Amino acid sequence: MFEYIAAGGILIIPIMLCSVVATAIIIALFLKLSKKKVVPEGVADTAYKLAVSGKMTPQHINQIREGSSLGKVLAAGLDSVDQPRHLMKTNIEETGRHVIHEMDKYMTTLGTIAAIAPLLGLLGTVVGMISVFSVITSQGVGNPTELAGGISQALITTAAGISVAVPALIFHRFFRSKITDLAIEMEKSSMRLVDVVANASPQKRPAAVAANQPAPAASGSEKAMAAVRAAKMKKTSVGGVG
């Protein structure tokens, strides 16, 4: 294996570095994007119960926030429980963008490796072929040993570049899809929190407020009946005196 690497020339070094970096990123993303760390079970239900319990404290919110990526989004909603619905939704969306950006942190590097690795291999191919033609120009085609060095460099760098690029591209697409799925799941949970808080808000006014309201004004027919009764009482009292 070392002989093949040595035969690849100087350009095999950046290709190998790309391979090491891509491997480290893939392992890190597998650990970072674990569903248990991003959207663990029970966190959303706990947030819903706290939102309607009336016993929520800053300690409870911090505990949810520090537990997972979903917890950070839900904690932003819990911090805004007393605010209007649109403000609560805005705070959740802002926190969600930050969380997704954090999840997406190493994806650009992995995609870059997937793009440049075959180009480095192609560059190695060009350099190897230049070496071959230089040998042909100076020594002719009668020395196959000298020609084989440039040809092996061209083939090895090409194979190495493709070998690094293909897995990097596959895992880049895989993690991109996974981040999208996790983001949608977090969005659903956070929007449900908004609905839970909105439905739990008091919809009925206290009875005391209704009692303190002024009585409705009497209608025209009620006023007429009252006037008739007053006239009859006055007539009866006058007749009794006479």
Average pLDDT over residues 203-209: 35
Q: Dump pLDDT digits (tens) for 55-68.
A: 788 888 898 888 88
DSSP line for 163-229? HHHHHHHHHHHHHHHHHHHHHHHHHHHHHHHHHHHHHHS--S--HHHHHTSPPPPPPHHHHHHHHHH
Distance of CA 3 to the CA centre of its chain: 45
| Each residue's pLDDT tens digit, 100-154 | 999 998 999 999 999 999 999 888 888 877 776 676 666 665 566 666 666 777 7
First to last CA, the chain: 136
Average of pLDDT values for 21-39? 92
